[in-house]
Amino acid sequence: MNESADEIYQAMPWLEIEEPLPSQVEHYLWDVQRYGEGGLSYHWAIISSGEFAGLIALDHVSTLIVGHWNLGYWIRRSCQRKRLASQSIDGVLNWLGRGGLTSVEMAVSRDNIAGVRTVESAIRRWAGHPLDEQIETKVGGQIVSHDCWLIPRIPLGDSQ
């Protein structure tokens, strides 16, 4: 947790500013373990050059519009602009495609220009499309609208 407060809230937008951070992170890790054991959540660390570079998660969340899964990621500022997000997204979608027909939603704030570009690149690679609906998420105590995209995922072998 050596990142700035803004970075932490981008990675974990559900954090409450007024609440103690350690107990919130502990609760999050318990949820990750519990939902992971039930096959409802998968979280991976992104490592680059032996350094922790970020996180990527695939899970069922209550804000899904039409998809089966939500895919979210966060890359440390010092590790950005290295295609790590795109490579990680592709890795997760390849892994997920082995399990059968499904769909993945991604949601990004319009203000996150780099995030929007990353998702738009992913939907071009994976034949996805934007959704008309938006979701609202609390980020750093404020409600923020997020644009949403859907990536249908079917097993395609090594074609991706």
Q: Which residues of 39-72 are buried (b: 16+ CB within 10 A; e: fewer)?
A: eebbbeebebeeeebbbbbbbebeebeebebbbb
Residue among 90, 24, 33 at smallest CA distance from 59? 33
Helix (H, G, I), strand (E, B) or coil at 118: helix
At residue 131, the pLDDT reads: 95
Tell me the C-alpha distance between 59 and 74, whole Å.
15
Q: How far apart are the first and last CA of the chain?
A: 34
Q: Is the pLDDT of residue 100 over 70?
A: no
Tens of pLDDT, residue by residue over 119-148, are 999 999 999 999 999 988 777 667 888 999
Parallel/antiparallel/unpaired status of strands 41-48 and 69-75: unpaired
At residue 92, the pLDDT reads: 93
Out of 3.30.1490.120, 3.20.20.370, 3.40.630.30, 3.40.50.720, select the CATH number for domain 5-153: 3.40.630.30
Tell me the C-alpha distance between 152 and 139, whole Å.
27
Contacts 24+ apart (CB under 8 A), 86-95: 86/118, 86/121, 86/122, 88/44, 88/46, 88/54, 88/56, 89/56, 89/118, 89/122, 90/122, 90/125, 90/160, 92/42, 92/44, 92/56, 92/58, 93/122, 93/126, 93/151, 93/153, 93/160, 94/160
- Average pLDDT over all residues of the chain: 83
pTM for this predicted structure:
0.79
Nearest-5° Cα angle at 31, 120 to 85: 25
